[in-house]
Chains A and B, each alone.
Chain A
């Protein structure tokens, strides 16, 4: 069963008519994780933002985006707002710009949960604390009382994942969630995203330019280049037998980057290549 079916999605600039995504069609199956990979400017972020119509106002989009059979693109804005968060949750690249800088993180979280579920203060707190504990954030109460600038990028990313856990959405869209992070926090966040999938059993769209992370987390993969899907399939089949030259290029550059490290590590830390 497909939870999301995107057909003939087109995104273009309203002013110049420049096409950014042309005629993309893809499905996300229930319980699976679809990764969208490509270089910057390939349209991967625009594609996933157009699913919940979050692109900036100068972009226009057409096509059918069926979420559980309902066309999101035709939905009135208000109805869509109710779906965002509750059923489709986004995890963004930059934690700093994802939270309101003028209020404590907890206030933002409480508002969101209250809006979608109408829970009381105590219930929200209890649920957030358990969600934060499960993404291994220490002292959830302290975290909720701090302002975004007081938390590191990795922590904010984990707060977003915790919020996704509490909201229990059917689909999580993660837009380059690990790109801006250090090695250690990247590792943590990837672990937590995998954990999130296990706990919710929902589907996920994962956008990244790092094939290493994609291989860890995704089941299926779409390769995008200049707004077009050039290759798709299961992660192992695409990565092992890439047909399109662009995919092969992405894979060869990624393995070249890691090659030096791998040779150095041979016989070293045994689990570095898990």
Chain B
């Protein structure tokens, strides 16, 4: 907890937290926050610019862009986060088991991962959606099915380098149970790596949901979604480029906020790095020296 307060000293982290926090709240309380009904068509306001009633203007069907943006948080951010947590959860569980216990357990889990990883992500997703039918839930199921193996792999590698440390050996020698060792020693150490991989996949998942919606496999038409909004604006990309701005900026802002936050978390959680960027840079100073001898 004490270390999480370190985060407060990093201005960028605080800003990212504020952005993510307000986006999440806006998404959860969308009906109260949004000024208009996101699906209300008003052809009279087609491509209208910004006004006091419609802050971000109206789209090709005269719907309120701001309201659509706010309602779009639900599939684009909230459900993506749920899918992410589920797949990280599964991946972390298996990755921890594989990296900590090694040998047979490791071999079995990793071969299953290999099977899942041998299909390209998009193909798997399309196959799952093809079997289960289009729709947000099915895409999320497809995401969990395709992503967990990748998380398990990354987390296993990260766990393996900690599991060999002497403090783990000591804990085991003094009769402390495996679950307790994993909880107190391995999870905190591997957390930084988990945070980084999950934050970077948030970005790719948001973009993938948008991509699938664009193909007509995700969110169905009248419901708002950021990727779909981008797609709708694409038709008038050259005549009315401002329509792309709102969803585009929203995606960029959320994605970068997650990235900055994961970076800051990594620094704040590591007691050695303290909270200063200077000591963080020094960490990179540990370079291989082999290039120097004799040359």
Chains A and B share a contact (CB less than 8 Å): yes
**Residues of A at under 8 Å CB distance from B?**
15-16, 54, 56-58, 81, 84-85, 89-92, 97-101, 108, 111-112, 115-116, 160, 163-164, 167
- Cβ-defined contact, B295 with A100, below 8 A: no
- Cβ-defined contact, A97 with B288, below 8 A: yes
**Considering the chains assembled together, what is the distance between the CA atoms of A164 and B295 in angstroms?**
12
**Considering the chains assembled together, what is the distance between the CA atoms of A111 and B291 in angstroms?**
11
- Cβ-defined contact, B287 with A81, below 8 A: no
- Cβ-defined contact, A99 with B290, below 8 A: yes
Query: Does B292 touch A at the CB level, under 8 Å?
Result: yes
Our pick among A16, A56, A115, A164 for the contact of B278 (Cβ within 8 Å) is A16
- Cβ-defined contact, B290 with A108, below 8 A: yes
Q: Which residue of A lies closest to B287 (CB)?
A: A56
- Cβ-defined contact, A58 with B294, below 8 A: no
B292 to chain A: closest CB distance in Å?
Answer: 6
Which secondary structure dominates where chain A touches chain B?
mixed
Question: If the complex has contacts A15-B278, A57-B285, are A111 and B290 also in contact, measured as CB distance less than 8 A?
Answer: no
Our pick among B285, B293, B294 for the contact of A56 (Cβ within 8 Å) is B285
**Considering the chains assembled together, what is the distance between the CA atoms of A29 and B287 in angstroms?**
32
Which B residues touch A81, using CB under 8 A? 295
B219 to chain A: closest CB distance in Å?
Answer: 47
**Considering the chains assembled together, what is the distance between the CA atoms of A254 and B5 in angstroms?**
46
**Considering the chains assembled together, what is the distance between the CA atoms of A20 and B282 in angstroms?**
15
Q: Which residue of A lies closest to B277 (CB)?
A: A15
Question: If the complex has contacts A15-B278, A16-B278, are A85 and B293 also in contact, measured as CB distance less than 8 A?
Answer: yes
Given A85-B293, A100-B290, A115-B295, list of 17 further CB < 8 A pairs? Answer: A15-B278, A54-B292, A56-B282, A56-B287, A57-B285, A58-B281, A81-B295, A84-B292, A84-B294, A89-B293, A90-B294, A92-B293, A98-B293, A100-B291, A108-B290, A112-B294, A116-B294
Which A residues touch B286, using CB under 8 A? 56
Q: Would you give the 0/1 interface string for B252-295, flagging 1 where the beta carbon is closer than 8 Å to chain A?
A: 00000000000000000000000000110110011111111111
Which A residues touch B285, using CB under 8 A? 56-58
Which B residues touch A116, using CB under 8 A? 294-295
Which B residues touch A100, using CB under 8 A? 288, 290-291
Size bracket of the B interface? 10 to 19
- Cβ-defined contact, A90 with B293, below 8 A: yes
**Considering the chains assembled together, what is the distance between the CA atoms of A157 and B217 in angstroms?**
62
Question: If the complex has contacts A97-B290, A99-B290, are A112 and B281 also in contact, measured as CB distance less than 8 A?
Answer: no
Our pick among B278, B290, B295 for the contact of A84 (Cβ within 8 Å) is B295
Which A residues touch B293, using CB under 8 A? 85, 89-92, 98-99, 112, 160, 163
**Considering the chains assembled together, what is the distance between the CA atoms of A239 and B65 in angstroms?**
83
- Cβ-defined contact, A111 with B278, below 8 A: no
- Cβ-defined contact, A101 with B295, below 8 A: no
Which B residues touch A91, using CB under 8 A? 293
- Cβ-defined contact, A85 with B291, below 8 A: no
**Considering the chains assembled together, what is the distance between the CA atoms of A37 and B286 in angstroms?**
24
15 A–B pairs (Cβ distance < 8 Å), ordered by A: A16-B278, A56-B282, A57-B285, A58-B282, A81-B295, A84-B292, A92-B289, A92-B293, A97-B290, A98-B289, A98-B290, A99-B290, A100-B290, A112-B294, A167-B294
Q: Which residue of B lies closest to A57 (CB)?
A: B285
**Considering the chains assembled together, what is the distance between the CA atoms of A200 and B136 in angstroms?**
75
A87 to chain B: closest CB distance in Å?
Answer: 11
**Considering the chains assembled together, what is the distance between the CA atoms of A153 and B209 in angstroms?**
53
- Cβ-defined contact, A111 with B295, below 8 A: yes
A88 to chain B: closest CB distance in Å?
Answer: 10
Which A residues touch B295, using CB under 8 A? 81, 84-85, 111-112, 115-116
- Cβ-defined contact, A163 with B282, below 8 A: no
**Considering the chains assembled together, what is the distance between the CA atoms of A116 and B287 in angstroms?**
24
List CB contacts (< 8 Å) of B113-129 with chain A: none
- Cβ-defined contact, B291 with A90, below 8 A: no
Which A residues touch B287, using CB under 8 A? 56
A67 to chain B: closest CB distance in Å?
Answer: 16
Which B residues touch A97, using CB under 8 A? 288-290
Which B residues touch A56, using CB under 8 A? 282, 285-287
Q: Which residue of B lies closest to A101 (CB)?
A: B290
Which B residues touch A160, using CB under 8 A? 293
A11 to chain B: closest CB distance in Å?
Answer: 14
A64 to chain B: closest CB distance in Å?
Answer: 22
Which A residues touch B289, using CB under 8 A? 54, 92, 97-98
B274 to chain A: closest CB distance in Å?
Answer: 12
A100 to chain B: closest CB distance in Å?
Answer: 5
